[in-house]
Every structure is written in C-alpha cells, then in structure tokens.
Structure 1
Amino acid sequence: MEDSHFEDAIVHSWHKNVNAWTSAVRGAEIRSRVTVTNAAIVNAVVAKAPKRVLDLGCGEGWLVRALTDLGLSAVGVDVVPALIEKAAASGGDFRVMSYQAFAGGAWSQTLDCVVCNFSLLGKDIVADVLAALPSILSPQGHCIIQTLHPAYSDETYCDGWRQGSWAGFSDEFTEPAPWYFRTLSSWIAMFSDCGLQLKEMLEPLNTETGKPASVIFVLAPATYA
C-alpha cells in the first residue's frame, strides 16, 4: 500500500474523531497524559524559556492554553478545521494549516520553539516538516518532539507502518489512524538529514508500569549547534 494512503488515513481519522478526542482530553480520560506526558512536554518547553511558541498539530488546543497561562506567547495550528474551532472556542490563537502547507513555507514568522506533541505520526511528511524548521527557528530556538517511545511496540524493531488502535479509549472513537514506527537511530538520522541536532533526549517514566511513557527529543538547528 502506498505511503500516501496511510498519510491520508491519519488525517481522515482525526476528522472522524474530533468530538471524541476533545472530550477525552478535556475530561482527563487519558491516564498517561494526566499522570506523565502532559506535564513532561510543558516542562520541556518552559525549560527553554521561549518567547514565541508554535504547537504544530495542536488538536483541541490544551497545550497552547497551558503555555499561555504560564505567560508564553503560543499559537496552535492543525489541519482539521473542527479541531481548530474547538480550540478557538476555549480561547487562544489557533489557525488551520496542513503539514504540507507548513513544509511548503506557509509559516514564515521566526519562532523560539516549535512543539510537536504526539503529532508526528506519518512518514515522508514528517521529514518535510522538520526540514522546514531551521529556516524559521531563531538562532537559539528549539524544536521539541514528544512521541511514543520505541519500547512501546511489541513488534519487530524496525521502521514501518503500524496499525493504530483506540484500545483503552471510549467507544466514541472510530477508525484509528495508522502510524509510522521509527527506531531511535532512524529518528536521529532523520534529524541530521533535516538540519537539526539532537541536544537532549528525555524519557518520562510511567511509575505504574516502570516503562517510559514517551520519548522527548529536544532539537536545535545544526547551524547554531
């Protein structure tokens, strides 16, 4: 099956699950987020003291609101108009923008931080997005990515598409999105290819399972590293 089919299926899934996702996030139904990963990404961003932050793939907007409450200037973009409507209705600066548009230069303002919080699920489009970052990050800027830890997968440890699942979520969810699994070495090689250098790698621990709840990559433009 073509990569483009999987990429399209990701976007289609999010169009289908706007209400279910918004309810789950705002109703604190996703335990790992409540206990570990939400605080982990907020702390990682705040630690870099950015003045202007972009949440790329912002969903219903919780992270933008959290950062704004802490005094940061934050903007969120997402490809799904209904998610942006949900986000804007609760206050904040939100805009509809696809990853293709972003990679093609639709965003031109200089940023101190670009955050991708569990929002890089695809294959080629992820590299396209990351390659666009060095030109818009400030000299001391960072990209901070939180994603599933490679230890999460019980399948063979190699790059490839994986079937999505809403296991553990409410029955409101439907048509789970596929996602592209990368080994740690593949992530790091892609960063280098895109003009970014890995500065830190954090592994927030789920104390209930004793396993990493996620991995957080803190990147800087290689030119300034």
Structure 2
Amino acid sequence: MDSRTQSLEEAILSAWHLNAQPWTSAVQEQRIESRRLATDRAIIEAVLACAPRQVIDIGCGEGWLARVLSAQGLDVMGVDAVSALVDQARALGRGRFECLSYAELAAGALDERADVAVCNFSLLGKASVEALLTAVPGMLNHGGVLIVQTLHPLMACGDAPYRDGWRDGSWAGCGEGFSTPAPWYFRTLGGWLDTFTASGLRVIRVDEPLHPETGRPASIIFVLAPAHA
C-alpha cells in the first residue's frame, strides 16, 4: 500500500471514531432520507430473500441491521472496526458483536462462517476493501453469498469525472453534531466489477432500489458468490 493510500485509509477510521456518537443518533433517529425511504428496507429484503440461518454483518456500525435480522430469528454476528459503535451495538442487544478491523478480518481473525455476509454502505476504502473482499469467500458456508449495498456510481459521481479515485467525504443529510468527514474511494460500475473479479467473486444479481419520490436509484445492491464455488 503506498503512503497516500495508507494515509487516506487511516483517515477513514479516524473520522468514524470521531463521529461514532452523532452517527448513532442519525441512524436511530432515522434522519437520513434515502435510508428511511428506500435503502434500509432494500438491504433487509435482499438478505431475507436468501433465506439464511447465519449472517455476518461487516461494518455493522451501531448494529441496526443485525438487530432487525436477529428479530427475524437469524443468528447474526456484527463486526466493526470502531469500538464506540460496537459498544453501542452490544448495549442495544440482539445479535453478537466483535470489534475487528478489515485488516484483521482479511487475516482470518473472525472464526465464523455464514450463509450471507453483508456489507451495507461499509466499503469505503481502496486497499482495505480489496483485502477484505478477497477474504470473504472463506467466511461463507457452501452456497453462501455476499451482499453489498453501496452508493450508485451514476448518482454518487456528481460533477467529478466518472473514474475510480479518492473523493472528499460529507455528512450532508445526516443532521448536526458531525466533525471531519471520512474520505472514500469512488468506484465506477466497471470499477466495482473489476474489484469483485480480482477478489474471486462473481456477480449473480444486481438490484437498483429507487427513491420513491425522485424515481432515481437510491443505491445499488450486488449479490455475489465465490467464483469457484
């Protein structure tokens, strides 16, 4: 990993450590419109459509998705690198939670396998994401899948050139109390597909949840399986 990439990867974690409490409030108070109107429901339905018994929620944050899925009778392990978010998730119950970085997950630190691993708006970096995705097939039971929900590249590109690269972050639409935002690595649709292929994953389904008011994609959801399963 070059020094610039490492610095930006570290800045992502630093920003999330600083903003764990306002993020928890934003999620619990349902401040983020796209989540409230479209994307939360979309990821729940995508996971339940796979009829899993065990789920690993990678980048679980304060644990809202793990709680919803656990209430459906699923065995859910939530994992996040930010200790304050994991503490909040544990305090709210429903599900099991561990504080592990993506580097630790990539190194095999989690002794769990699942029918579904899910990354819900939690793939923000470059090298960290590539290492994590390469390790995901080893976290899945036979026939298991990875579900990734992320910003839709066409909607997230804005006025910047449509090419892979680092972008400045923003807490716009999340409410008050936030400080320095996290940088993030923008991937085009082709960039995502190349990343998945290089990680040993193949796309078996793509969904584009629509915002009910604008009719435009609120996100994109990839359902992936190990390429050699």
Tell me, in whole angstroms, the C-alpha distance in 1 between the residues paired with 2:173 and 2:81: 25
Q: Which residue of 2 aligns with 1:171?
A: 176
Preserved CA contact (<8 Å) 1:81 1:96:
yes
1:222 Cα deviation from its structure 2 partner: 1.0
Preserved CA contact (<8 Å) 2:31 2:173:
no
Q: List runs of 5+ in structure 1 lacking aligned partners.
A: none
Q: Which residue of 1 aligns with 2:96?
A: 93
Preserved CA contact (<8 Å) 2:33 2:173:
no
Does the residue aligned with 1:204 lie in a helix, a strand or coil? coil
- 2:50 is the alignment partner of 1:48: yes
Q: Which residue of 2 aligns with 1:77?
A: 79
Does the residue aligned with 2:136 lie in a helix, a strand or coil? coil
Q: List runs of 5+ in structure 2 lacking aligned partners.
A: none
- 2:162 is the alignment partner of 1:160: no
Preserved CA contact (<8 Å) 2:80 2:100:
yes
Residue 14 of structure 1 aligns with an amino acid whose one-letter code is W
1:211 Cα deviation from its structure 2 partner: 1.2
Preserved CA contact (<8 Å) 2:164 2:188:
yes
Residue 10 of structure 1 aligns with an amino acid whose one-letter code is I
Preserved CA contact (<8 Å) 1:139 1:221:
no
Residue 117 of structure 2 aligns with an amino acid whose one-letter code is V
Tell me, in whole angstroms, the C-alpha distance in 1 between the residues paired with 2:173 and 2:199: 35
Preserved CA contact (<8 Å) 1:32 1:213:
yes
Q: Which residue of 2 aligns with 1:67?
A: 69
Preserved CA contact (<8 Å) 2:37 2:212:
no
Tell me which stretches of 4 or more aligned residues in structure 1 moved more than 6 Å. none
- 2:11 is the alignment partner of 1:9: yes
Q: Which residue of 2 aligns with 1:213?
A: 218
Residue 27 of structure 1 aligns with an amino acid whose one-letter code is E
Q: Which residue of 2 aligns with 1:186?
A: 191
Residue 186 of structure 1 aligns with an amino acid whose one-letter code is G
Question: Which deviates more, 166-175 or 64-73?
Answer: 166-175
Preserved CA contact (<8 Å) 1:161 1:180:
yes
Per-residue deviation, residues 59-115 of structure 1 (Å, max 9, x unmatched)? 000000000011111110111111111111000311110000000111232211110
1:153 Cα deviation from its structure 2 partner: 1.4
Q: Which residue of 1 aligns with 2:20?
A: 18
Tell me, in whole angstroms, the C-alpha distance in 2 between the residues paired with 1:165 and 1:214: 17
Q: Which residue of 2 aligns with 1:222?
A: 227
Does the residue aligned with 2:228 lie in a helix, a strand or coil? helix
Q: Which residue of 1 aligns with 2:136?
A: 133
1:210 Cα deviation from its structure 2 partner: 2.1
Residue 54 of structure 1 aligns with an amino acid whose one-letter code is I
Tell me, in whole angstroms, the C-alpha distance in 1 between the residues paired with 2:62 and 2:177: 16
* Number of equivalences: 224
Question: Which deviates more, 15-24 or 105-114?
Answer: 105-114
Residue 6 of structure 1 aligns with an amino acid whose one-letter code is L
Preserved CA contact (<8 Å) 2:30 2:36:
yes
Residue 57 of structure 1 aligns with an amino acid whose one-letter code is G
1:169 Cα deviation from its structure 2 partner: 2.4
Tell me, in whole angstroms, the C-alpha distance in 2 between the residues paired with 1:109 and 1:150: 31
Does the residue aligned with 2:65 lie in a helix, a strand or coil? helix
Counterpart selection for 2:110 from 107, 113, 126: 107
Does the residue aligned with 2:182 lie in a helix, a strand or coil? coil
Preserved CA contact (<8 Å) 1:102 1:129:
yes
Aligned identity (percent) is 50
